[in-house]
Amino acid sequence: MMTNFLIIPDIHGQITQYEKTERLIFESISASPDIHMIFLGDYIDRGSGGEFEYFCRKFGKSINLYYEDIGSRMIVERLLKLKEHFVENDITHTFLHGNHEHYFIENISILESSNNLVSILESKMNNRSRKTYTEMLNTIRGFTQDFDLMIRAKRFFQSMPLYFYDEKNNLFFTHAGVNPDKTLTTCDSDDYLAIREKFFLYKGTYPSTIIFGHTPFDSLSDEEKAFLNVDQYGIIFKQDRIGIDSGNYRGHPINLLQIKDSEFFLLKEVGNSFQTQQIYHKK
């Protein structure tokens, strides 16, 4: 019998979507305590803006500050508590490492050594786009009133594996994908974290069903969508690769994937709940 999974793709600081997802997680645990929760990474960056209350020692009172991205911080807090719940209640779980967590670790290490947000721009801006670092700075600013939480987030991210391989059921979970020129477990970290076209446009067949996030389906060309069967379910869907990142930070409903015994179900966010659609029966 196949292990039961609930797979959660890129959250990207969207706190309202996360709250709906968390409710579903607890409902799923109640219905099936043996379920294995798998998060595909990219919990932060591009998050929801909003006010956050903190105690200002200078003025001796609580004040509200607006942050461009407070959703990322709020989700990290919720995920840390969720992990504690999983551990305390013996719920099988895997939090996978995403490329945005990798950026966070890099930049917090710089921040720890320099104590200056500008140093992040000076040391790394030439390596990535200005948009990427603006997003990262917005994320980090959301943590600036709680340095301890920032370091806990860094350690949490550092503890995350790059993939989870269920050899018994021939399922491979990772954030971005794998390099078709290598075996599933010998890819470079950049492959697991950031690969795109070389992985999902591969004309051959992978030895396992690879379940991934990272690449929103609406970022694909019409030709790529046709090859990857995107139009059938609104996800990347081939029998050996299933991509469920909807691009939720661009306003799209989030997708989840449930695998129960040999059946695959797509859970699509509709309003305040999720609609379930069977998409595949694994023989």
Q: Hey, what are 98's tokens?
A: 């995403």
SS3 of 212-223: the string is ECCCCHHHCCHH
pLDDT at 130 over 70: no
Spatial separation of the C-alpha atoms in residues 105 and 154, rounded to whole Å: 6
Q: What 8-state DSSP symbol labels residue 207?
A: S
Which has the minimum average pLDDT: 70-79, 91-100, 127-136?
A: 127-136
pLDDT at 65 over 90: no
Contact 211, 205 (CB under 8 A): no
Beginning with the edge strand found earlier in the chain, give each strand of the sheet holding 255-260 in spatial order: 93-95, 36-39, 5-8, 255-260, 263-270, 273-281
Q: Give the mean model confidence (pLDDT) for residues 82-110.
A: 93
The tens digit of pLDDT for each residue in 169-223 reads 999 999 999 999 999 999 999 999 999 999 999 999 999 999 999 999 989 999 9
What is the widest separation between alpha-carbon atoms in the chain? Answer: 65
Other residues' Cβ atoms within 10 Å of the Cβ of residue 241: 22
pLDDT at 153 over 60: yes
pLDDT reported for residue 219: 92
Other residues' Cβ atoms within 10 Å of the Cβ of residue 15: 17
The tens digit of pLDDT for each residue in 17-51 reads 999 999 999 999 999 999 999 999 999 999 999 98
pLDDT at 121 over 80: no
pLDDT at 100 over 90: yes
pLDDT reported for residue 15: 95
Could you please state the CATH topology (level 3) that the domain comprising 5-98+162-281 is classified under.
Purple Acid Phosphatase; chain A, domain 2 (3.60.21)
Q: Give the mean model confidence (pLDDT) for residues 50-72.
A: 84
Contact 135, 69 (CB under 8 A): yes
The Cα angle at residue 65 between residues 61 and 70, in degrees rounded to 5: 130
pLDDT at 250 over 60: yes
- Domain residue ranges of the chain, discontinuous segments joined by +: 5-98+162-281
pLDDT at 124 over 70: no
pLDDT reported for residue 238: 95
Confidence band (pLDDT; 50, 70, 90) for 128? Answer: low
Q: Hey, what are 26's tokens?
A: 């607890």
pLDDT at 269 over 80: yes
Q: Give the mean model confidence (pLDDT) for residues 156-163.
A: 98
Q: Give the mean model confidence (pLDDT) for residues 90-100.
A: 97
Spatial separation of the C-alpha atoms in residues 193 and 104, rounded to whole Å: 13
Q: Give the mean model confidence (pLDDT) for residues 39-68.
A: 87
